[in-house]
Amino acid sequence: MKWVFTLILTSLLFISDSFGQEQTPTPDALYREARLAAFDNQDYARAVSLLKQGLDLAPAYLEMRVFLGRVYTFSDSLSLARKTFEQVLQQEEGHEEASLGYGYLEYWNKNTAEALKRVNKGLEFHPDSESLGVLKAKILYELRQPEEASSLLDAVLATHPGNTEARSLQQRQNSLSTKNAVGVSYEYVYFDKRFDDPWHIAFADYSRQTGAGLFTARVNYASRFNQNALQAEAEAYPRISERFYGFINLGISDDSGVFPRFRAGVNLYANLPAAFEVDAGIRYLVFDEDQFIYTLGAGKYLKNFWLNLRTYIIPNDSELSGSVAFTLRYYLGGRDDYLGLRLGTGLSPDDSANTVLFGGSGTNRLRSRNAAAFWRTPLGNSFILNLETGLEDQQFTATERGLQFNAAIGLIKRF
């Protein structure tokens, strides 16, 4: 019987020891639990407690210590966050994630010079870091160094073309890298029916970047219906805040048969998280009668792609029905290097070729389907080439429709 008692006692001790081991959490388990507490429940106090337990068990667990610094940052315990990041950097100089966390801490708290110092130190040890490169670009824009920021984003996108954050940031800031730009463009419009003579549309413009935003002056020329006319336009993209910017357009012409006698447009744009952008606005056109048109749009950057859906709406049923357009860009490189496709139905007041059709009677019954392909590419360091071609199945009257072919070329010089 003695051996039976010994066996039972040994088994109980083994079970007790195994149970005790299962009850003792590992550093990895504590780390996972802390992330759930911080991200899912925003319980930063519990996350800190769990991370401290884990670090007591594994003091050299640098990834966990970096996350502790981030949690301190999220909970506005900035002195503790700085101390924690410093501890990591003392153990591993230039640690990528610690440099990133420390850099964002200072950037979010408007200590841009200190943020740049931390990021530069990290880049010394990790020169190809995507995340550090994007953060440095943000800091450089904040420090009003747009040329350096744009060049850095070009470098990031050259090696990591699918970086959505870099692409979105570059497009939002695209007008800041140069102060001036001049552009010229020509569009040829051919009809298989209704109009015997093709249309010719051209413009020349000058843009200037200021502290308040981008401003453009433009002169448009059109030859259609055997008439020639000029239109003068002024355009602005005022910066309202880091998240919001606007669009304002005014135009005037002396020939309402070729251009609207007066046009105006206003939009408000909002940059949202996850590289989304939404906008809403209004267009006002004056031909023989006044025409109000409302627009809504939404865009999204997704790796190398930019997707945009836009609609134009006239609320009065006796007027022109709405239109919808979907635009897709595929970026081959930087901000001025992409291929694009546009598909739509209905007329757009922002389409220079067909704006004049808003002035006809019964345009609310006109229907169209259209498709266009375009290419934008840099030529050298300061020139940009634009090419576009499109086909439209356009209704001109209640009983007549035809095909419309468009081809356009444009050149921009930045300086």
Q: What's the confidence (pLDDT) of residue 283?
A: 94
Q: What's the confidence (pLDDT) of residue 366?
A: 66
Express the helix, strand and coil content of the chain in percent, nearest 5 each.
35, 40, 25
Strands (DSSP E) contained in 274-362 are: 276-286, 290-302, 305-313, 323-331, 338-345
Where residue 194 falls (left for φ over 0; alpha for ψ -120 to 50; beta otherwise) is left
Q: What's the confidence (pLDDT) of residue 347?
A: 80
Q: What's the confidence (pLDDT) of residue 171?
A: 74
> Quick check: helix, strand or coil at residue 250?
strand
Pairing of strands 227-238, 244-253: antiparallel
Buried b vs exposed e over 57-94: b needs ≥16 C-beta within 10 Å?
eeeebbebbbbbbbbbbebebeebbbebbebbbeeeee
- Helix H segments across 92-181? 96-108, 112-125, 130-142, 146-159, 164-172
Q: Give, in order, the Cα–Cα distances in Å from 71 to each of 46, 48, 111, 132, 399.
A: 10, 7, 19, 19, 67
CA dihedral 5→11→13→19, nearest 10 degrees, is -150
> Quick check: helix, strand or coil at residue 302?
strand
With CA atoms as reference, report the closest residue to 319 among 279, 273, 361, 347: 361
Q: How many residues does the chain have?
A: 415
Low-confidence ranges of the chain (pLDDT < 50): 3, 5, 7, 9, 12-21
Put simply, whether the predicted model's pTM sits higher than 0.75 gets the answer no
Q: What's the confidence (pLDDT) of residue 85?
A: 95
Q: What's the confidence (pLDDT) of residue 5?
A: 47
Q: What's the confidence (pLDDT) of residue 16?
A: 47
Q: Is 11 exposed, middle or buried (0-12, 13-18, 19+ CB in 10 A)?
A: exposed
> Quick check: helix, strand or coil at residue 296?
strand
Contacts of 343 (CB under 8 A, 6+ apart): 325, 326, 370, 371
Q: Give, in order, the Cα–Cα distances in Å from 194 to each of 259, 312, 361, 404.
A: 19, 26, 16, 10
